[in-house]
Structure 1
Amino acid sequence: MKLAMVSASLSRTGGGVSAALQSLSRQLEKLGADVRVFGLMDAEWSNADRAQWTGAPAVALPTIGPRALGYSPGLTQALVDWKPDIVHSHGLWMHNSRSVLQWSHRTGRPYVISPHGMLDPWAVRNSRLKKYLVTKAYEAAHLREAAAFHALCEPEAAAIRAFGIKNPIHVVPNGVDLPKGGVGKAAPWKGRIPEEAKVMLFLGRIHPKKNLIAFISAWSRATSDRKGTASWRLIIAGWDQGGHEQELKSLVKTLGIEKTVVFTGPLFGDMKDSAFRNADAFVLPSKSEGVPVSVLEALSYGKPVLMTTACNLDIIFYFGAGKRLSLSPVEMQRDLEDFLKIGRSEIEIYANRAVKVVENLFLWPKVAKRMLDVYQCSISNRLVP
């Protein structure tokens, strides 16, 4: 099989989508597929991320006009020239959707869409005017003519159906690799918090949908002179989007909790590995997600996870590898207080369960095999058995 993957971003700006692209494309190559990844050029790809790419061979094409639209005049022809049997279109609301649609019209070949949570109600409401215009211009046709959709979880599949999609939907989660053995480097926050402190880590894109304003407010109340919680520190690591990080820093200062909340900036490679190894727990208070790669990564390192049901990984609660975090401010504080009071022995129990969940359900070789079945069935116009 000759497969093309298309995404608006190959760099760190793509967040979990970019990370998933690298791992999935690499595993599909191991299964014998001939894979090429196509994306859009940006400063991060040019400056650093091209050298750190670990997936199948990738091509970043130049764009013209606003970055928010992502118009690349050469993308359609690049796909035509490469002659894939099928295209996997990752994400929505950018001009690459139209390029994939044009490629399909010119070649008569099918494509599969992974919305990556972009049809969830919260995501659809965000930037509504842009999405309305894009839908009218080309996104409606891109959605309507897809051979199939790939949903990361059953709630996302339901959101896709609720949007009005009638095409076949295949549910396959994101995957993760187990970390390699060995001792990581010193924590990125070394010297900024007490050595004996326990660390709650957030690592990801710093964007309003991650709901960090609500979580920081709950953190302030939950750690204010309360027995059993004062030993914790919150580490916020990630890349800023739209100046939201400065909003969070201003809130931390206003609340007077600079000693318990530390911002590290983006972490990649060895620094990211060190962050996971040196954390005691992981938090994702999001309002909307597909299946977040960051949570799977935390679990692979044996870290208990505190997350909302919007992360679409309730199976983690079922297996006792994490705790539920409410979106309600009062209940969020209560959930956080309960979590911060757990001891080292209980953290170890969570850790063992976390790794077992990953090994049983989320390792990339298993996920890639299921995706290969989706592609083969989409080419032959049948459902996955």
Structure 2
Amino acid sequence: MKVGFLTASLSRRGGGLLNAVSGLAQGLFTGAASVSVFGGRDAHSAADQLHWTGLDVNALEPAGPEFFGYLPLLNGMLRRAELDVLHTHGLWMYPSVAARRWSRSSGRPYLVSPHGMLDPWAVRNARWKKRLAGWAYEHAHLRGAACLHALCAAEAEAIRAYGLRNPVCVIPNGVDLPDRVADEEPPAWASAIPGGAQVLLYLGRLHPKKGLPVLLDGWQLARAEAQSGGWHLVIAGWDQGGHQAELAAQIERAGLQAQVHLVGPQFGAQKAASLERADAFVLPSFSEGLPMTVLEAWAHRLPVLMTPACNLAEGFAAGAALEMAPEPDSIAAALRRGFAMSDAERAAMGEQGRRLVADRFSWPRVAEQLLAVYRWVLGQGPQPDSVRLD
């Protein structure tokens, strides 16, 4: 089976899509399927090419407005690839147009993974632009899919609430389970943290939907407990739309510079080192599909503080995460609970997370489920248990 993956960006500019799409492509690259990846090239593509090692990757030069991501050579490249099935990742950009055209000309099916982009908060954000894009091309793209891919039950519900009646498969993201390396180099930011201090890590895009301003408000409320326990908050990630400057100004106004550190983006070995140096992980998000960063934190045995919007309720049930709402008082209460725990209690939470990832979120397991869906839409197999028709 020849599978095509289509995404607007092949680099870190896609946020969590880089790890999600490349990990899934690597998981599918077995004797049962070959994978060709198509997407836009940008200034970070060369640095991030290791994510795509061993895969057939077609990096295309974009043209026109950046927000649309028009790829002039994409249509011809898709036709020549002779794919059996195409899988688009993400919405609201030119790949949505190209996928629909490819399907109509080839007569072959495609799947769509919104990756949280149909969640209510995400739809409300830049609402008028998305309404225009929906009218122009996105609604046709979504309705024409042989199957829509939700990362969790909550995303499947959001897809239905958007008015879509296609079959929906519910299959989570996956993650690799890293081995601990005794002599691993510390992250570059470690020198800014006093020796012996505890680190609560946020790692991801610096974007309003991630809830970082309310995290800072909650940290300020729990400031005394953080200071008595020697806790520091490290915010690692790449800036989107100037949000980093807003966070820096908030930190300065609150006088949190001694405890809160904006350390910039972390990729590759530095990202792994950041997760290894941390003592806990936090994601105060208003909206997610299924966050790769939480799965990666659990894979590194970190206890997690997160909101229900992260759509990983199994983490709360397994005792791998503390629940909080994306508001200052709730975050402060969760922070105080985390600060009050012993090292052994936090380690036990982290082990629960690691076990959860190994059992439910490994890439081989995820790829196996998705391959069954591809066979079904091609008429080569029965309807998988992951597929919902209602």
TM-score normalised by structure 2 residue count: 0.95
One-letter amino acid matched to 1:213: P
Map of 1:54 onto structure 2: 53
Decide whether aligned partners of structure 1 residues 237 and 227 sit closer, same or farther in structure 2, where only a CA change above 3 A counts: closer
Map of 2:112 onto structure 1: 113
Map of 1:258 onto structure 2: 257
Cα offsets for 1:85-127 (capped at 9, x unmatched): 0000101000110000000010010000000000000000111
Distance 1:328 1:206 in 2: 17
Map of 2:34 onto structure 1: 34
Distance 1:50 1:335 in 2: 38
Map of 1:200 onto structure 2: 200
Map of 2:388 onto structure 1: none
Decide whether aligned partners of structure 1 residues 63 and 339 sit closer, same or farther in structure 2, where only a CA change above 3 A counts: same
CA RMSD of aligned residues (A): 1.4
One-letter amino acid matched to 2:174: G
User: What is the Cα deviation at residue 350 of structure 1?
Assistant: 0.9
- Size of the alignment, in residue pairs? 383
Asked if 1 retains the 8 angstrom alpha-carbon contact of 2:62 and 2:71, the reply is yes
Map of 2:327 onto structure 1: 328
User: Which range moves more in the overlay, 102-111 or 351-360?
Assistant: 351-360
Distance 1:343 1:55 in 2: 43
Asked if 2 retains the 8 angstrom alpha-carbon contact of 1:98 and 1:138, the reply is yes
Asked if 2 retains the 8 angstrom alpha-carbon contact of 1:77 and 1:103, the reply is no
Cα offsets for 1:199-256 (capped at 9, x unmatched): 0000111111001000011111201x33775411000111110110111011000100
SS of match in other structure, 2:8: strand
One-letter amino acid matched to 1:297: E
Cα offsets for 1:63-103 (capped at 9, x unmatched): 11111011112112111110100000101000110000000
Distance 2:326 2:267 in 1: 29
Structure 1: runs of 5+ lacking an equivalent: none
Distance 2:352 2:53 in 1: 28
Distance 2:282 2:361 in 1: 19
The percentage of aligned residue pairs carrying the same residue is 45
One-letter amino acid matched to 1:6: L
Distance 1:278 1:206 in 2: 20
| Pair 1:138-2:130 in alignment | no
Map of 1:190 onto structure 2: 190
Distance 1:205 1:9 in 2: 15
Distance 1:55 1:304 in 2: 33
Map of 1:299 onto structure 2: 298
Distance 2:168 2:189 in 1: 43
User: What is the Cα deviation at residue 49 of structure 1?
Assistant: 2.0
Map of 1:22 onto structure 2: 22
Asked if 1 retains the 8 angstrom alpha-carbon contact of 2:218 and 2:330, the reply is no
Asked if 1 retains the 8 angstrom alpha-carbon contact of 2:201 and 2:280, the reply is yes
Distance 1:305 1:36 in 2: 35
One-letter amino acid matched to 2:239: D
Map of 1:238 onto structure 2: 237
Asked if 1 retains the 8 angstrom alpha-carbon contact of 2:19 and 2:51, the reply is no
SS of match in other structure, 2:3: strand
| Pair 1:384-2:364 in alignment | no
Map of 2:211 onto structure 1: 211
User: Which range moves more in the overlay, 123-132 or 281-290?
Assistant: 123-132
Map of 2:355 onto structure 1: 356
User: What is the Cα deviation at residue 62 of structure 1?
Assistant: 1.3
One-letter amino acid matched to 2:366: V
User: What is the Cα deviation at residue 53 of structure 1?
Assistant: 3.4
TM-score normalised by structure 1 residue count: 0.96
Asked if 2 retains the 8 angstrom alpha-carbon contact of 1:22 and 1:56, the reply is no
User: Which range moves more in the overlay, 299-308 or 132-141?
Assistant: 132-141
SS of match in other structure, 1:190: helix
Decide whether aligned partners of structure 1 residues 229 and 147 sit closer, same or farther in structure 2, where only a CA change above 3 A counts: farther
SS of match in other structure, 1:377: helix
SS of match in other structure, 2:189: coil
One-letter amino acid matched to 2:200: M
| Pair 1:158-2:157 in alignment | yes
